[in-house]
Structure 1
Amino acid sequence: MRTGEPLPSVEDVLAALATGLWHWDTASGLVTVDAEAARLLGLPAAPTTLTEAQTRARLHPVDWNEITGVVQLAVAEGTLAEVRVRIMDERGRIVRVVRSRSKPSHDPERGAYVLIGTLQEVTEPTPGTPAGRSAVTGDWRRSREAFLLDAGRALAEARSTAEVLRVAAGLSMPGFTPDGLVVFAVEGDWLTIIGQHGYQPGDEASFAHMPLATKYPAADVVRTGRAVYLSSPEEYRERYPATWPLAEPLGRRSWAFLPLTAGGRMMGAWLAAFSYPVTFTPDERAVLNTVARMLGQALSRAGAAETQRELTEGLQRSMLPSLGPEIPGMAVAARYIPTGGGLQVGGDWYDMIPLPGEDRIALVIGDVQGHDVRAAGLMGQLRIALRAYASEGHRPDAVLSRASRFLHGVTHDAHPADHLPDLRFATCLYAEVDPATGELEVARAGHPDPVIRMADGTVMRRPIAGGLPLGVDPDADYPTTRFTLEPGETMLLCTDGLIETGGHDMESGWRRIRAILEDHDVQDGSGDGEVGLERLADALVQGVHGPSSHYMTGPLTDRREDDIALVLLCRPGDGHGGALAVRPQVRHTLLSVAQDEPERIAEARQHLRELLHDWSSADQVDSAVLLLSEMITNVLVHTDADALVLAEISGEPGGRRLQVKVTDTGDDLPHKRSPGELASSGRGLVLIELLAEAWGVEPRGEGKSIWFALHEPDGQ
């Protein structure tokens, strides 16, 4: 350029430097570019005006979102907005990378941003780094995005404040990892430290509890909501002379203080300190700002979760009963394990109720539909109602009938939130127990049957007559079943969560529970039946969920599919401390089939199979089941009475005797007939003569009994 010639225009200079100009007004939604900027965007080299949609089509989709974030950050901090952008062609291929620099301004009245800036092609995809720190290797954008993705995932999975702080301490940022981290929280008008990493014990003492009015970077961040970046000790000393003497001995060279917010609420501040100089470029500030937002949200979630856990523990302590005093002649153990979702409370419960006027108790177990607070509330109401009805002296059938009417009334009232009824039901099993004799009177409302572990280790489900779940029909009836818990036997009551958790159905889950019960003898000769019962309760829970140290009332941290409640009742055998001195050589069971319950014939057949689970001859088991079915059917078809079944096994394995007796109150004695080929009945006694080794009919004062016997083959 000759002396005296006019200076070239700004546009000419920028064009010579391959730098384009652009202007973006978000209110109008238009982007104006000069010829060089148009060329860099892959358009003809001529000034033009584009819509935001047309401009966005030329950029990588991720980069457009990044531009909007960087603009907001630059306005908040009063700095330049700098971002690298990938330019795409019509086929979606990256043709070049450009650097955009602009000075954004915000018009609050219009709610719009106005930006004037430059575009310049980047020849090196990897940005340079300040002296004294390692360069970022590889693709800078991919490295940063991978870091933010990993950090976001790790923070999202943290479930407590301590876990969030551990994750924050382990973050390794791409190219400028801090070696000192501090998290400040706001408590009233004070700033406190809730976590730190990279400092020696005691280093944080001067900053641990300071008024928000202090002239300190973290306090400024909380008061203003704007980040503070200090690139050198000189800048720190100049801007914060009062607190610089406290920070100087800690040996850092650069500091970034960022706000921690969640849901628009200021929670505190995050300090990232470096032992080397950091200039805090827009890229670095964007990373720090993103991490601070994720950290604030993670701390908010963790705080809410911890509050929720405290509420859960309080709910459980208030809702779950203790088992009360010891029961003479009996041992009891119970567990409640909540589901892992939500508040970790649900509708499962158990209870033990002293009954009036007698040395009797009632055991109750139930499950209100749902795993939410509503289910927990209904459970509490239902539990209180059952206690009240039991304390009035009602029998089990009356207790459940009244409870069903009560729950039906509660759930059919309008729900206050939407004025619609919240129709829920509950399953329940109520057992009245006489500890002196072991006699139980049981009523069941849609609940799983109890399970009995006999003294010799045989495990059987005990079929109980039942009715509809509570709350379905206010006029439902609940028949009762009586049986005796013999010395050495243990009864399990549980909700379906114990059976079906882990993808099991009722049958496969039952087989799993049966195996656990068979492997754990409550009365193992240790001298303490109660300890053995507690071990069995733990084994049942561990068999479903694995080991845990807190079963009774505290929430567990791993996620569960359903609540679990279980109660174990044991009647110790002869001997001291509940240990059996001699195992009984008789195994028996008793059950009834009513005239209006023909479907229970199938239950009786299965019950006999379970009693014969270790019988050596499978053919004899099939024969016994067939004969039992015939005998019960004859009672239901040819009399107006119910059938009472008694099955008994005596003797040593390999030489045992099975006797099955069916009793009814009918007067007509069975007689042998000769049915024709096409006859549908009349074969009962014929089959008994063919398959049984011995049989007979015993008239009684009122009614009769028909029985058959089989002997186990020796050596099979």
Structure 2
Amino acid sequence: MRTGEPLPAVGEVLASLATGLWHWSTATGLVTVDAEAARLLGLPAEEAVLTEAQARARMHPVDWNEITGVVQLAVAEGTLAEVRIRIMDDQGRVVRVARSRSKPSFDPELQAYELIGTLQEVTEPRPGTPAGRTAVTGDWRRSREAFLLDAGRALAEARSTEEVLRVAAALSMPGFSPDGLAVFGVEGDRLTVIGHHGQKEREEDPFTQMSLQTDYPAAEVVRTGRAVYLSSPGQYKERYPLTWPLASHFGRQSWAFLPLTVAGRTMGAWMAAFTYPVAFTPDERSVLTTVARMLAQALTRAGAAETQRELTDGLQRSMLPTLGPEIPGMTLAARYIPTGGGLQVGGDWYDVIPLPGGASRTPSEGGRFALVIGDVQGHDVRAAGLMGQLRIALRAYASEGHRPDAVLSRASRFFHGLTHTGDADAPADPRFATCLYVEVDPVTGILETARAGHLDPAVRMTDGTVLVRATAGGLPLGIDPDSDYPTTRIALEPGEALMLCTDGLLETGGHDLDTGWGRVRKTLEAHEGDLEELADALVQAVHGPSSHHTTGPLADRREDDIAVLLLSRHASPARPSGRRTMLTVAQAEPERVAEARQQLRELLHDWPCADQVDSAVLLVSETLTNVLVHTDADALLVAEVTGPPGGRRIRIEVTDTSDDLPHKRSPGELASSGRGLILIELLANAWGVSPRGQGKSIWFELYEPSADGVPGAPASGGAV
């Protein structure tokens, strides 16, 4: 070409260099190619307009997807889009490899990409050569895809910020892996270091609380939302001379600073530093960008989960009481563990309420107090809110001085009004709540209980024997606003411990109430430590270690909330150890005779002679039935085991308020009654009837057999 002649057209120049032109618009879905580009695509060497489907058919499907990702990355970073494309023939075989370079743009109004670029054939290096080791091959792409899948899975499973950072530090990228990582966050107008790896302790100090206007790569990334790649120390020093001294002593050769963006908002920056030079090819940038996006999402999820845990933990602490000062002669311990599902907050609660009356008005001064434990239906915010309101109402009714039955009756009406009325903005949400209310006199150890559909309390006696104390009860709160709640009196003897719990303690781990109670009973009987250790042991028996308010992995394994409240009465040195139970059987409650039989069997769980146990159960049934049939009074059963092992005695006493004394009869063969005293005389080692001034008591005793099977004392008959 002579000087002064016009320059040839761009297309002619590119064609002479075996380089084609192509134009792609996602708005129209059309790809325009010149003659050379058409030839490279395996089409006739002439200009053509192709649909996206026609263009995709000429390329390897993995490479077409690669083009989409690289274009988006180039637009975000304002750089060139470069990608290698494998051209396929009609039989699906690779006929050549072409390299595309373009400058893409994005139209926000049309939400469409447009690019004009070149297409040029390249020769793939042979495997094993230096070029072959660094080339972007199909194997490398497959390794990268496998890496991204594994990284995405690991980051998705991370539950906390600490776990996310640990996963990020362990990522081994295919072909290049950073040896130094840092995650930067933003607080106001300051840059913070959320976590780092590959640096020594305290080496991150100069980078914390750095102004976002600082001449530092991470600050620029947060300001602009665009990545910064520095392939050499020279580039770093040239672009960021003020902060280069801070980074120089780490001995790194290349750095990548990428934005952590979620929902269009840059929440921080991620730094990947390398001890060897990295060119940051488009493929490498694509990997780093993809990891940064996954890391941003994982950090956002972890941060939201941690915030939620803090809020729910704070809500739990605000709703659950402190046990307050020490109570003379008694010890209290409690545990609450939320469910692992949903918001990790539910309707279980416990409370300790000082009661009015007398000169001593607080538990710490020896005054009466109430223990409350309950469970509002559901494991959601609504259940937690209802629980808080119900707890306040119970405290108010108890503080007014009402008896246990009146407290629960008023609470049921209140709860029914909360859940069964509503309006357009807040429709009715019928729910119920179970509750156990126990009024405690710390001086005498007398417990007055009222129960609303809740589990019965359990008592651990001084020798480790555990009894479920059957108590009278009514419907759960909120079902019937006019429901009655009869009371039951229990005597907590010195050295004994009372356990109140919600059903989560029994049913967690796939158990039902029966098998779960068996598990809890073993823990109660085997434990010999103080009450705090016993509370921990009960929780650990369900699913491992816990604290007073547990969240995290332990809570995640829970199917239901767990609340446990323990009360023990200090042992009296002057009182011999033993076990004792009391039970009232009212005229209107003959079904409680069966409860008395079951409770007696539990009291005699370790008695060596099964025949004596059967005899005791039979005699208790007879004496209680006699009171219900032959008098108009209620019956009070007191059973007590005393003495050392091998020489123990069981004394059973049934008291009523009738003055009519029993007498022996000679029933005929067909008589349906009249055998009670005869059976007592035959089966008991000792028995008798004792007038009480107002009423009477029938008692009998059985003595534990010695090693040779002989009872410890001879039968002595009885007297009326």
TM-score range, shorter chain: 0.7 to 0.9
> Aligned partners of 1:446, 1:31: CA distance in 2, in Å?
73
**CA 331–192 in structure 1, closer or farther in 2 if over 3 Å, else same:** closer
Measure how far apart 1:442 and its partner are.
0.8
Deviations 1:429-478 (A, max 9, x none): 11111111111111111221111111122111111111112222211111
Query: Which consecutive residues of structure 1, in runs of 5 or more, have no partner in the other structure?
Result: 1-6, 523-531, 576-580
Q: Residue 600 in 1 paired to residue 608 in 2?
A: no
More deviation, 138-147/50-59: 50-59
Per the alignment, residue 571 of structure 2 pairs with 573
Contact 2:40–2:98 at 8 Å: present in 1 too? no
Deviations 1:571-625, CA, capped at 9 Å, x for gaps: 12223xxxxx7742x4321112334444434433321221111011234434443
| CA distance 1:406–1:285, change in 2 (3 Å) | same
Query: Residue 521 in 1 paired to residue 513 in 2?
Result: no
Following the alignment from structure 1 to structure 2, what is the Cα–Cα distance between the partners of residues 246 and 652? 78
Is the CA contact 1:338–1:560 (under 8 Å) kept in the aligned structure 2? no
| Distance in 2 of aligned mates of 1:683 and 1:79 | 105
Paired residue secondary structure (1:356): coil
Equivalent positions of 1:364-443 (< 5 A) are 364-414=372-422, 419-443=426-450
Given residue 593 of structure 1, which amino acid in structure 2 is its aligned partner? V
Q: Does 1:492 align with 2:492?
A: no
What is the alpha-carbon distance in structure 1 between the residues aligned to residue 202 and residue 422 of structure 2? Answer: 59
Secondary structure of residue in 2 paired with 1:169: helix
8 Å contact kept, 2:11–2:21: no
Structure 1 residues 12 and 440, CA gap change in structure 2 (3 angstroms): same
Deviations 1:273-325 (A, max 9, x none): 22222111222111111111122222223333333343344334432222222
Q: Deviations over 1:61-98 (max 9, x none)?
A: 8776655433321221233445567999999x998996
Q: In structure 2, how many angstroms separate the alpha carbons of the residues matched to 1:36 and 1:353?
A: 89
Answer yes or no: is the 8 Å Cα contact 1:158–1:164 preserved in 2: yes
Do residues 617 (structure 1) and 609 (structure 2) align? yes
Structure 1 counterpart of 2:683, which letter? Answer: A
Give 1:57 shift: 8.5
Following the alignment from structure 1 to structure 2, what is the Cα–Cα distance between the partners of residues 638 and 126?
A: 104
Change (3 A) 1:135 1:248: farther
Separation of aligned partners in 1, 2:152 and 2:108: 31
Change (3 A) 1:239 1:714: same
Aligned to 2:5: none
Equivalent-residue separation in structure 1 for 2:51 and 2:593 (angstroms)? 79
Identity of aligned residues (%): 69
Q: Is 2:22–2:32's contact at 8 Å kept on the other side of the alignment? A: yes
**Partners of 1:695 and 1:706 within 8 A in 2:** no
Q: Aligned-pair RMSD on alpha carbons? A: 4.3
TM-score by length of 2: 0.82
Q: Does structure 2 conserve the Cα–Cα contact (< 8 Å) formed by 1:692 and 1:708?
A: no
Distance 2:512 2:197 in 1: 49
**Which residue of structure 2 aligns with residue 290 of structure 1?**
290
1:253 aligns with 2:253: yes
Is 1:470 the counterpart of 2:477 in the alignment?
Answer: yes
Q: Distance in 2 between matches of 1:602 and 1:89?
A: 87
Aligned partners of 1:67, 1:56: CA distance in 2, in Å? Answer: 11
**Would you say the 8 A contact 1:411–1:422 is kept in 2?**
yes
Change (3 A) 1:498 1:177: same
Distance of aligned partners of 1:329 and 1:237 in 2 relative to their CA distance in 1, 3 Å threshold = closer
TM-score w.r.t. structure 1 length?
0.82
Q: Which residue of 2 aligns with 1:444?
A: 451
CA gap 1:201/1:653 in 2 versus in 1, 3 angstroms: closer
1:59-70 pair list within 5 angstroms:
67-70=67-70
Relative to structure 1, the CA distance from residue 487 to residue 119 in structure 2 (aligned partners, 3 Å threshold; closer, same or farther) is farther
Give the distance between the partners of 2:635 and 2:123, measured in 1 at CA.
93
Instruction: Report the Cα distance in structure 1 between the residues aligned to 2:390 and 2:686, rounded to whole angstroms.
Output: 50
Query: Does the CA contact (< 8 Å) of 2:680 and 2:687 recur in 1?
Result: no
Q: Judging changes above 3 Å, is the alpha-carbon distance between structure 1 residues 583 and 157 closer, same or farther for their aligned structure 2 residues?
A: farther
SS of residue matched to 2:268: strand
Which residue does the alignment assign to 1:265? 265
**Aligned AA (2:261):** T
Could you tell which deviates more after superposition, 377-386 or 646-655?
A: 646-655
Task: Identify which range, 217-226 or 700-709, moves more after superposition.
Answer: 700-709
The size of the alignment, in residue pairs, is 687
The whole-number CA distance in structure 1 between the counterparts of 2:540 and 2:644 is 34
Task: Indicate conservation of the 8 Å contact 1:368/1:379, yes or no.
Answer: yes
Distance in 1 between the 2:694 and 2:30 partners?
A: 101
| CA positional deviation for 1:630 | 5.2
1:190-240 deviations in whole A, cap 9, x for unaligned? Answer: 323333333355654554343323343222211221112222334334444
For the residues of structure 2 that align with 1:94 and 1:469, how far apart are their CA atoms?
Answer: 74
Q: Secondary structure of 1:139's match?
A: helix
Q: Is residue 370 of structure 2 the alignment partner of residue 362 of structure 1? A: yes
Is residue 623–residue 691 contact of structure 1 (8 Å, CA) maintained in 2? no
| Aligned 8 A contact 2:416 2:480 in 1 | yes
Of stretches 486-495 and 313-322 in structure 1, the one that deviates more from structure 2 is: 313-322
Q: Is the 1:688–1:708 contact (alpha carbons within 8 Å) kept by the matching residues of 2?
A: no
- Provide the secondary structure at the position in 1 that maps to 2:255: strand
The Cα shift of 1:389 comes to 1.0
- Hey, what's the Cα distance between the residues in 1 that align with 2:63 and 2:677? 88
Residues 84, 97 of structure 1: 8 Å contact kept: no
